[in-house]
Structure 1
């Protein structure tokens, strides 16, 4: 009888690595099927387009338009099929080398400092400057000699005044300019009271947005680039979906919405003729 490990002890360990874990798309698909939902059901419930749902379940995140939008869609779809989105978000970040650190805001807007190239003295410019000074001095001397020294110069270059200054003519008094109205007040005055008007702009970034009227008709579905703006109007209601609500600025019926949306968050909003409330 030999002394040592038994054959059972020499069996390979069971593979419990992360490779056995289903992919993000597979996990979402399995949870959707287990919940008895179709892709159309998920798209209608989350406002995520059918093509994007199919792509995510196939682990193709390119149609999302970037990591920020991909995380938002993963979180939305996971909640729709009763899954905890955080492990899926962590898995998404791990597969892409970890979540990138936020970019400091200052370098984005600070003008690039260019070190001037060191050059030798510009003799041509120096000669031109010297000629101009000589010509100016000669001209000044000739003009001064023509005056004959009969007039006394006044310090500071101001001519002496005698008597009282003439009163301003009637009708020439300038009136103070009227204060300009606040842009928000102008927008409120321009918004019709019998409709709901929603203006969506992206001053600091870009975001995918979707807008529908009260009948569910799609008014817009696409990417709003930085600096772009869209205005939607309906008789009773506007439904919005914001892919990155933190990059969006909203004016509803001419009044700015002051909600602090988090960057990368997906928001679903509905506005009517009475919104926003006064105060």
Structure 2
């Protein structure tokens, strides 16, 4: 396949449109469009946004967006192979240099110990039964004590669950993201379980996500104009030097993420 950037540039020139017109159509900044055509990947804000921008640009030019994204992945993303476990055989038991060790037959000894144990238990039970004053009275008392203990245990378990539920509710982050009035924003959000709850979606101007709930979130945005709120209160999040807003958000704090720790929605 031809170079990715050359494919985009040739398609744009065949269509007779310039970068400014593409910027207006796709809402992608002109410098990022030029970086795509020149394959200057280091000027783009991370692999997730490269693929998102590439997909949007290709669709605007009538190209096969999926094919171009797959070509980018093949050429520029690190290969991820699955490791195969080795040396499993060495973990199995062996007998050293002279073959497997001899096994002692413990069965007769174990049977003897079981027999002695059963006999001692029978003698103990017989002696215990001889000294019982009243089987009926003892049974009634035992039943009452067991019922009271079960009731106390149930109440304790209910109180414990209520405490855990209250503690969990205090940690939940009610998150909502709204695009600014001027332009759309690319949104990637991953929750505490690693699930992509907003998977590289382009949020149009003035539109917002539903209310997201988790103990914490990792958020990546293509613009600092987006409004991010937790429990209805806005968090002041700033873009990094590459123009990307990337933070880990909890109930009490917002921590900026380095490029290698940002969420991926590719």
**Which structure has the greater CA radius of gyration?**
1
TM range (shorter): 0.3 to 0.5
